[in-house]
Amino acid sequence: MKNSALKGFCFGLTSGIITTLGMMVGLHSSVGSKLVVLGGIISIAIADSFSDALGIHISEESDKQTTEKQVWSTTIATFVSKLCFSSTFIIPVLLFPLSTAIWISIIYGLTLLSALSWFIARSQNAKPHRVIAEHLLIAIIVIIITHYVGDMIHTVFE
């Protein structure tokens, strides 16, 4: 995979996992509705995929050493990977009770993030356990914060 496409893929996958899990956990804690969580996943998959793709597009354009072809390669890879990976979180929500689907999604997302982190570490000759731990810690912090924010919203507005 070319470097620009790999950059977009890694960005899209990471953003898709962390954004979608954070949103799912927060909505589950605040509303607890399967329909609302599904709507959130679909919204993230569409709107945030476009947003992230445009963000990385503009970021890449600001680098004078990046060619137009590389800019578009990164942009498209970001959009496609974010859209695809965010959308996969729909499956457990459709197949399982919401609380179970949330746990399955967390395990699935953290497993994907671990695999990507392992790949990145190996490609840079770094120690995989350190890179994996760093990335998982950030994702887990997002999950915990969105859970408690969702609980606070539920408490204040219910």
How does pLDDT run across 101-115, given as a tens digit for each residue? 999 999 999 999 999
Q: How much is the mean pLDDT over the chain?
A: 96
pLDDT, position 56: 96
pLDDT, position 2: 82
Structural domain boundaries, residue 109 = 3-157
Confidence band, pLDDT 50/70/90 cuts, at residue 158: confident
Q: Could you tell me how many helices (H) and strands (E) the chain has, helices first?
A: 7, 0
* Percentage helix, strand, coil for the chain under 3-state DSSP, each rounded to 5: 90, 0, 10
Q: In this structure, what are the phi and psi dihedrals at residue 33, rounded to the nearest 5 degrees? A: -105, 130
What does pTM read for this prediction? Answer: 0.94
Rounded Cα distance, 148 and 26, in Å: 8
pLDDT, position 132: 97
Question: Once rounded to an integer, what is the mean pLDDT over residues 121-147?
Answer: 96
Count the domains in the chain. 1
Question: Once rounded to an integer, what is the mean pLDDT over residues 54-75?
Answer: 95
